[in-house]
Amino acid sequence: MAGNLTDTAENEILKWLDPAKTPTRPSTGLQVALITTSSPSSDSSVGSEVSGGSYARKDLTLSAPSGGTYSNSADLTWTGMPACTVGGVEVWDKAGTPVRFWYGTLAANKTVNSGDTFTIASGDLDLSLD
């Protein structure tokens, strides 16, 4: 998901570059949300998150960054999915009022049936700066 930082994340990175500013870092970990194709994400607008079935955001564990890219270091698996078409993902922190940092589309939309399992394999979700 190169070039897919949200406006909020971009502002926090810019604050990090200025010694007179104090950026706010996620302190509670990160989670991945699945987004439907009906409302894709952008820098400033949140996509329509999947809902129903047993769907819930999944905790994101990241590998060590390399070449300006982080990747998920464990499979992200959703079981008991609702019937939907997944078209993208968003990365949020787990704060009481969550903040969205990244978004991106899948290489190909994935239609899932009620009760299906949806998996993003370890190493397949890349977060990068370019």
Q: Sorting pLDDT into bands at 50, 70 and 90, what band is 2?
A: low
For residue 9, give the DSSP letter: H
| DSSP three-state, residue 105 | strand
What's residue 80's pLDDT? 97
Q: What is the pTM of this model?
A: 0.89
pLDDT tens for 76-89 read 999 999 999 999 99
pLDDT tens for 5-35 read 888 888 888 898 999 999 888 888 999 999 9
Report how far residue 41's alpha carbon sits from residue 37's, in angstroms, rounded to the nearest whole number: 9
